[in-house]
Amino acid sequence: MKDLTRVPAAEIAAWLRSRQLRAADVLEAALERIAAREPALHAWAFLDPERARHQAQALDAGPVRGPLHGLPLGVKDLMDTADMPTAYGSSIYAGHRPAWDAAVVASARAAGAIVVGKTVTTEFATFAPAATVNPHDFEHTPGGSSSGSAAAVADGMVPLAFGTQTVGSIIRPASFCGVVGYKPTFGTLSRAGVKLLSESLDTVGAIARTVDDAALMVGALCGRDELVDLARAERPWVGLCRTHDWRETRPEVATAMDAAARGLAAAGARVIQVDLPADFAPLGDAHGDILGYEIARNLGFERAHHNGRLSSRLRELLDAGAQVTAARYDRARELAHLARAALPGVFDACHVLLAPSTTGEAPVGLESTGNPVMNRVWTLLHVPCVTVPVATGPSGLPVGLQVIGRSGDDARTLAVARWIHERLGAG
């Protein structure tokens, strides 16, 4: 019997569908791992083993529900659950019990997934960290804001977990923890029942053991068979993209990019250099203006009624956001609109881009979740991003690179990410 805490979800799902394996056994393996490691990891905001066991028994006794039948799932605590408390990472909502499941949670359950519990998020998915540590080294941050989801998947607690990304909250923690993170094309998954921070940016996605697993999860939720069953990529054309923020990266990123270029070319990929247009340079600031304007309004109730229970970091973000004028917001949105329209040109000579997922391996310390500068522009551009672990840094921690595709071209982006992961995969 293989180690169920390490086998890809897609394999487990196949065994569950063919009844070679019981959902109850998959779940017990997950719960054992959680029981052993959670005291050190702090990946979970809430766990309900008994409820999960009842669901596993029901699934084993009934028909196959769907593509996620019997798979244990972590749900980021930014997402509403009717049967578990949802606090959005804030003491304001400690013990809060939503009246519904978020739409994607309802879809996951309808597809047969078993929600094991709620994974830790930073405060309202912003920058103030929670207690989760990096499973590879407890002195290092797991990244944020999907801290618990990334740590739980990396540690073998669950094969699948939800993440959300407004700046870099799926790709960064997945990269820091050495797992696969997939931010789909903007709008692929519903945000109903997910605490809204920025309507222009918030994106729901998946953290998983393999690219196939992440694709399976998202594909099952949005009804896209081409994701549930990814086609094979052949000799992809890959554009190495250092981005306008390359100066922020540490040496391990350059090493990983160079090694990837050599390794992919040797494996048969066509590898070219791709520079982003000069007028993409202000997109980082544009992202900040859009986030600021929107989050100051979207957390307006919390700011008015619970300001003392917000972290000083979040208060500063909201105060600064409240100063962003509608004119500045409109300019930022126009810039993003023009950049999205110019994006096909960037992909003229390649199927996907390959860019750093982070500025380096997970930094030491838990007071920050790390720098999201390598993510914000791709979030703003609404393109699919898939981070795969390809190297290790000076502290022996994972370093990921992200595969970036055209808007809507998720299936090919994932296929190429799998191709790259199979050839360069580390961690």
Residues contributing to the site for a second copy (CB under 8 A):
82, 93, 96, 99-107, 109-110, 187, 190-193, 195-196, 199-200, 222-224, 294, 297-302, 304-305, 325-326, 330, 408
Distances (CA, A) of 292 to 199, 325, 326, 332: 11, 10, 11, 11
240's tokens: 């190495």
Question: Which of 167, 353, 351, 382 minimizes the C-alpha distance to 242?
Answer: 353
β partners of residue 47: 117
User: Nearest approach, Cβ of 199 to a second copy (angstroms)?
Assistant: 6
Alpha-carbon distance of 157 to 14, in angstroms, equals 19
Q: Catalytic residue at 76?
A: yes
Which entry of 90, 107, 145, 311 is annotated as an active-site residue?
145
User: Nearest approach, Cβ of 140 to a second copy (angstroms)?
Assistant: 33
Nearer to a second copy, 81 or 387 (CB): 81
Rounded to a whole number of angstroms, the distance between the first and last alpha carbons of the chain is 22
Helix (H) or strand (E) holding 75: strand 72-76
Nearer to a second copy, 1 or 327 (CB): 327
Nearer to a second copy, 99 or 278 (CB): 99
User: Nearest approach, Cβ of 340 to a second copy (angstroms)?
Assistant: 11
Q: Catalytic residue at 145?
A: yes
Which entry of 169, 175, 198, 200 is annotated as an active-site residue?
169
* Residue-level length of the chain: 427
Q: Catalytic residue at 91?
A: no
Nearer to a second copy, 222 or 254 (CB): 222
Which entry of 76, 118, 183, 195 is annotated as an active-site residue?
76
Asked if residue 145 has a cis previous peptide bond (ω within 30° of 0), the answer is yes
- Plot region of 97 (φ>0 → left; ψ -120 to 50 → alpha; else → beta): beta
Inter-residue contact 156 to 33 (CB < 8 Å): yes
Nearer to a second copy, 273 or 323 (CB): 323
User: Nearest approach, Cβ of 25 to a second copy (angstroms)?
Assistant: 26
Q: What are the residue numbers of the active site?
A: 76, 145, 169
